[in-house]
Each structure stands twice: as C-alpha cells, then as structure tokens.
Chain A
Amino acid sequence: MTTGRAKTKAILSAVARTRERSPLYWWLAEHHDEMIEAARGGRIKWRAILDTIAAAGITNAAGGPPTAEIASDTWSQVRRDVAAGRVRPGKRPRQPSRLPATWRPQPVSVSVPPRSAAPEAPSRPPPTGPESEPVSERVRAGLAKFDALFARADRHLYPPTKRKG
C-alpha cells in the first residue's frame, strides 16, 4: 500500500521535525543557505532583526518571540546540525496539515489490560541484573553504583531482605 506508506512517512517526518525543535530552528534550517549568503561571513546582529522575526510569526520553542540570545544559539545549533548532516538545509518535510482532507488514520487494535487496583505501597524497583546489551566495565560499575545509591536512599520503603546462608 504505497499511499499508506507515504502518509506514514510524512507523519514520521513531521514528528521528527517537531521533536524538541522550535519553529525558529526549522525556519533557520530551511533558510540555512540564504542566511549564510546574507551574512557573508559576518556576525548576525540578531537584536536588529528580532522584530521582523516576531512579525513573521517565527517563535521559540515556548511559542513566544525569540530573544537575541536564543536566536544566536539556535542559529549555531542549526549550523552544527547542517554541518553534521543531521538536517538538510532547505528541506521542508510534508506536514500533516497538508495531507488530503479525506485522509484518516488507519484504526489500530490495541488490547488494554483491565485496570487493577493501584498498589498503595511503593513496590521495589526492578531488580538489576545483567544489562540487555553489552556494556563496558566502567558503565557496569556506574550502574552498580547507581543501584546502590538508590537502594540506600529507598531502604526505608522496603522490608529488609533475608540473606541466604
């Protein structure tokens, strides 16, 4: 089902696009090359263009007008991401709002287990054991310390365990 796959791809692309990135970030990414050309190697005076950015409705992650510091940092991040190949300049992924009006998500069957009475008392954290993936000796030691720190911190929550032997 090619059409379905294309829609899925568009949604995933939009999700990836919006994850933890502000509209300002994406605007700068889309206009990366033009920005580079306009700056001509010089410093961008962000304070001078903040009003224009705000008037264009380009916001920070919180939906507000970006400050000069945020704009400067965001631009640095965009340049790093473009340089590292994490973002393609000028690329504008298709957004869900541009999908056909007739499009509907495919129904998904999910079996939800019946809700049981919530335990009032805190339960013991999941037992630690061999990691699911191979880790270095340093990481193993770090995780062991992590577990020890929290076992000590939470010791008042659990009854003492009996030792063998």
Chain B
Amino acid sequence: MKPKTPTETGGVAPERRPLLVIAVGRQRVGKTSLLNTTAQFLRAHGAQFSLWNADTLNKTYSLSRFHTDVLEPPSPDPEDVKAWLEDRFTGLIRMRGDALLDIGGGDTPLARLVHEVPLVQTLDRRGVRLVLVHVIGPEMADLDYLERFLSDRLLAPEATLIVMNKGLVLTGRSSGFAFSAVRQHPAMKIAMDAGAELALMPSLPCMSRVTDRALTFADAMSGGEKPGHEPLSFFDQERVAVWWTRELPAFFAEIPRLWLPDMPGFVPPPAAEAQGPTDATAGAPMTAAADA
C-alpha cells in the first residue's frame, strides 16, 4: 500500500505521536507471541515504551514471563481490569509515551470499554494514535474479529495492521495456499480499502521450545539456559538466530514506522533483500507515512 504523500496529508509531514498498540484476535492465534517478539525486537533496537498485560487468564505464556517491567491489573475482575485500562490510557495521554497492550482473547474488558467510549476518537483527540493489530491465522474464523470490528466500527482505527501468522500454517504446506481463502474474504478487502496494512509474521519452528523455557530470544541465540530445562539444541539456537537476524527485520520493515515505537537502532534491510529473489511487485518497505 502506498504511503500517503505530503499532498495527501495536506502538505504536512506525518508526525510521530504517542502510540497505543493493541493486539486483538481469536484465542491462540499468536497475539502474545507477536507482542512478546515485538517488545523484544523493539527494545533490542533502542525503543522505549511501556508493556501492559491485561491477559490475566494466560499465566503460562504471558508477557510477564519475559519482561520484568510489565504492568498488570490488580485483579482479574473485568470491571477492575476496565478501570485499570482507563488509568493506563489516562497516564499515556499525560506522559506522552508509547505502550503495547496484551488484552487477551475472547470477551475482554477492552470490548466493554469500547462499547461505552469511542476509544479511537477519544485517544486521537488527545494526540494518541491507537494502532490496532489484528492477528490472524489461515482459518476463516480468525477473521471474525476483523469482520465484527469493521461492521460495528467500535474499534476500527485508520492505523490498522493485519498480521498473518505464518506459524499457524501446518509444516510443509504452502503458506500462500493456506491463506488463499483469507485473501478472498470480504473483510480483508474492506479493511484494505480503509487503509489497513498487511504483514506476514515469520514462523519460528522452535518457538514453543524457547517460550516454554521462558528464554528471551537473545538468550536463546546465545545458548542461555533455565534451571529445570534441557539446554536448547544448537540447531534451535541457529533457528532463532536466522529468524531474529534475517526474517524479523524484514517483517518489521513492512510496518509503517509511525505505527511502532521509535527504533533508533533499526536499519531496515535493503528492499531487494527483504523481497527476496521472487521480485515481487509489492511489499513496501518500512514507510514513514501512513499517518492517521
């Protein structure tokens, strides 16, 4: 998708604004994996932001296992979580920072909140850009959230990113085939027409072996160990290294720069390398525009 030109943005260069990045989607589509990966990658490249974990039901694999500074609500009661979210959002507006929020799947307090308050507009009026990340796999039901959010317009910011999780494709299958029905889904076209961006999250075959050990990816690459666990095999260490150094940079380069916290240490890979030998027609590199 083409970034907006200065003409399209009224002659004003797109500006960096405080960000609230929220991942939504069905349960077990990889929201926490995406946020965990994103948080680690952003921090490794110099970004500063807050991490909020409202996914209180997910104890085994939560952001808090990988990051020591994660803020969590005081109780899992939905009303408490909703009040906690309001406090966080208020603080974000005041402090002018960036935040990544793991809200979990299913019936969430966020869904309740947006029924009461037009969250996108409320934050936008106060200078905060809400970036909604729809995480989907190749199943049609994975698009239910997107379809519903688009139809009732309760949470449909212009900064909408659709992340297709390649890790959900069965081994050996063509991911293009696996996602071919997703490509045809009307909700995808409506979202694209509204300005949504696409990205394909690369798979890490040994992801569960890394996360089961509560290893960071940096630790996993360097052979770090956790008590009570077998060391990660050398092959898995290499798999993580390839994924981290080659595939993730290309993935993050697909996302508009202003939709992520600033990464001063990140140099997007050259377009030719990012696009590979297929000489694809699209695949815009990390864009500076697409401002809301």
Contacts and interface: CB of A to CB of B under 8 A. Distances in A.
Given A73-B107, A125-B174, A153-B176, A144 B281 contact: yes
Nearest to B78: A69
A103 interface: no
Contacts of B277: 155, 160
Interface in B132-186: 144, 152, 164, 166, 172-177, 179-180, 183
B44 interface: no
Contacts of A125: 174, 176-177, 180
B280 A122 contact: no
B199 interface: yes
A150 B172 CA distance: 14
A150 B196 contact: no
Contacts of B254: 149
B198 A146 contact: yes
Contacts of B200: 149-150, 153
A73 B277 CA distance: 48
A155 to B, nearest CB: 5
Interface in A121-165: 122-126, 135-136, 138-139, 141-155, 157, 160
A63 to B, nearest CB: 16
Given A69-B107, A145-B283, A151 B192 contact: no
B281 A148 contact: yes
A160 B275 CA distance: 14
Contacts of A9: none
A138 B160 CA distance: 14
B276 A143 contact: no
B80 to A, nearest CB: 13
A32 to B, nearest CB: 18
Contacts of A139: 189, 192-193
B280 A147 contact: yes
A150 to B, nearest CB: 4
B176 A151 contact: yes
Interface of B: 1-2, 78, 107, 111, 115, 144, 152, 164, 166, 172-177, 179-180, 183, 188-189, 192-193, 195-196, 198-200, 202, 250, 254, 274-278, 280-284
Interface of A: 20, 67, 69-70, 73, 76, 80, 122-126, 135-136, 138-139, 141-155, 157, 160
